[in-house]
Amino acid sequence: MKKTCRVEFLPFLSRRDYARGTNLLDALREIGLPLKSTCGGKGTCGECLVRIQKGKAASRASSRLPEDVRRRGYVLACQTEIETDLIVELPRFEEQSVRALVSSRFFEAHPDQTSGVFEISPAVRKLRLSLPAPSLADNSSDLRRVQRQIQKSSDLRCREAGHHVLRRLAAAVRKQEGQVTAVLSRSGSEWRLVDLQPFPPPQNIYGLACDLGTTTVVTALVDLEDGKILSTTSGLNQQLRCGEDVISRIDYARKPGRLLELQRLAARTVNSLLEKACREAGVSSADIHDVSLAANTTMTHLLLGLDPRTIREEPYIPTVNTVPAVRAVDLGLDLNPEALVHCAPAVGSYVGGDITAGLLATPILSAEDGTSLFIDAGTNGELVIGNRDWLAACACSAGPAFEGGGTKCGLPAIEGAIEAVTLRENGRLEYRVIGGGKPKGVCGSGLVDLLAELFVHGLIDRAGKLNESKAGKRFVRGEDGAGFLIEKDSRCYWGRDLVISEKDITNLIRTKGAVYSACAVLMKNIGLDLNRLDAVYIAGGFGEHLNIENAVRIGLLPDLERKRFRYLGNTSLTGAYLGLLSEKNRALVETIAAKMTYLELNAEPGYMNEYTGSLFFPHTDIGLFPTVKKILEP
């Protein structure tokens, strides 16, 4: 029998030899291919599903792998050992861009109303220089002549020069009779020469805004001269294979070598999005001179290669909140080697740079008066309440249920995901699929709709239990227990039936309950009645649109006048983008971080009660949701 087996992975076309008996998940990790796995190889999360197209593999049975799925060649990679040459088909998540997370619709529509300003004053500048020819009479060095001209043509103090630009300096200043474009980057109170280009430069100067989320990562390639976004790309965080939420990533990082692995996966994720963005925009990555990054505290630590352990251990102290600027090259990012990465500052372990930067994309600090609430329901849920004078924040472990994680039917807002659902009176279920065609799963906004429709039509009760008789033919019972059949003829990885199970619903209740109860406790702590809120801004990975009415009906959002709500989409990316545009915005984020008080929910005595009370549709105390009560009891 052969000792070495050749395994080919589709659709990546990677091919490699492994010893017979190699675990298939290990083989995938070794080759660096992306695959979700939450449980870390125990066979319990069921997410490392792959299909053996050709060849033989020894696979242990798993309760997470239904027999019919198994018959079609599917196995859990973590439970499978290579026996012969194989062709293995992987799910196509990572290839795809994540839709509708790209930018804040609100900012696009109202750039003048956000806390951050739309003003082009970036930390990178370019200057046209006309250098006098070197001569025996003036034997100043090349660098000195460049510095002199910078001083002449601007008021920028520039004494430092990047090592990489020095290496090209002699050649650059001798072309085109000394007509050059100097690129300067601010470093503290000084400017630093980071590039020399011909004049006129073949390209503008560019920056990269990046929202490095636990689940999804989005980048925007920005022209720093007019602020235009040239290209946005998005995809799943390649760290997903190491765990789905920040806690499992932190645990994953504990073993030797894994922090480095996570660091590289983060860099690789950004690099692949970056490469795509550059290709789309026709920009060379060497012309990207600044990076503005917004991420939660754990993601920031992992990208920087900092040990995240202390983030999850009491008293929950991160290594850094305000991160010194780091050279892109030191993080393995493929940009101009002198480019600096500016991370938005965190407030603490669970309120990170995604929130402080995200506030730039809300009107909270620019509103004339009143008090607003900001909810960012990503993989972690963060809430901020306040106005231009004060800010208070808390975080809750919402889980990634509304971003497509932690549930079997869930998907991020990618092509093939159901993004909106309506249940007609006649029992007909209508839905809209991103990109059209057969559905593969349901994204956050679709899940909110689905739950609300099932709930208000009585197909699920207030605890999330399915009503078999009301669901009728759509009631199914499978490996995961009772479920509601969304679509028989689907493209989901589990088979042809796309089902939301009671287990999935329980998970979603927990998530929405975590957000609502955090909101209630935060308000109580501030001593403010919910009705006193002038505005509620919602951000997160729900998708392009979020049906506020439905979000209230399931008890995710408080029952306030609907016009006070605004769904902002991805505020984190917009915040990163605004930081890139203007140093004024970066300064404002620093102020935001310094001003914000952090409330540790776990230390709040009333929190567990509030949380338990929220584990119903819409809440144990239906009096808190008068409009929902009215619908239920007409």
- Residues within the interface to a second copy (CB under 8 A): 134-136, 139-144, 159-161, 163, 166-167, 169-171, 174, 188, 190, 304-307, 309-310, 314-322, 324, 326-327, 330, 346, 348-349, 598, 600, 603
Q: State which residue, 110 or 144, has the beta carbon closest to a second copy.
A: 144
Dist. CA 47–CA 38, nearest whole Å: 7
> From the CB of 591, what's the least distance to a second copy, in Å?
16
Beta-ladder partners of 582: 121
**Which is nearer to a second copy, 301 or 553 (by Cβ)?**
301
Alpha helix (H) residue ranges in 305-436: 353-358
**Neighbouring C-beta atoms of residue 528, cutoff 10 Å:** 15
**Smallest gap, in angstroms, from Cβ of residue 258 to a second copy?**
14
Cα maximum dimension of the chain: 97
Nearer to a second copy, 294 or 346 (CB): 346
Q: Closer CB to a second copy, residue 129 or residue 414?
A: 129
What CA dihedral angle connects 443, 446, 448 and 450, to 10 degrees? -130
Q: Is 500 helix (H, G, I), strand (E, B) or coil?
A: strand
Q: How far is the CB of 261 from a second copy (least distance, A)?
A: 15
Q: Which is nearer to a second copy, 188 or 527 (CB)?
A: 188
Indicate the residue among 97 and 349 with the shorter CB distance to a second copy.
Answer: 349
Residue 572 C-beta: closest distance to a second copy, Å:
20
Q: What are phi and psi of 596, to 5 degrees?
A: -80, 130
Residue 495 CA from chain centroid, whole number: 28
For the CB of residue 244, give the shortest distance to a second copy in the complex, in Å. 23
Q: 382 vs 479, which CB is nearer to a second copy?
A: 382
* Cβ-based neighbour number of residue 67 at 10 Å: 8
Q: Residue 415: which residues within 8 A CB-CB, separation 6 or more?
A: 96, 99, 434, 435
Report the 10 Å Cβ neighbour count for 2.
10
> Helix or strand or coil: residue 48?
coil
> C-beta of 407: minimal distance to a second copy in Å?
32
CB of 153 to a second copy, least distance (A): 21
Cα of 623 vs its chain's centroid, Å: 35
User: Between residues 310 and 620, which has the closer beta carbon with respect to a second copy?
Assistant: 310
Q: How far is the CB of 259 from a second copy (least distance, A)?
A: 9
What is the spatial distance between Cα 534 and Cα 322, in angstroms, rounded to a whole number? 31
Kindly report the backbone phi and psi dihedral angles of residue 275, in degrees, each rounded to the nearest multiple of 5, phi listed first.
Answer: -60, -45
Which residue matches tokens 């197909």?
A: 459
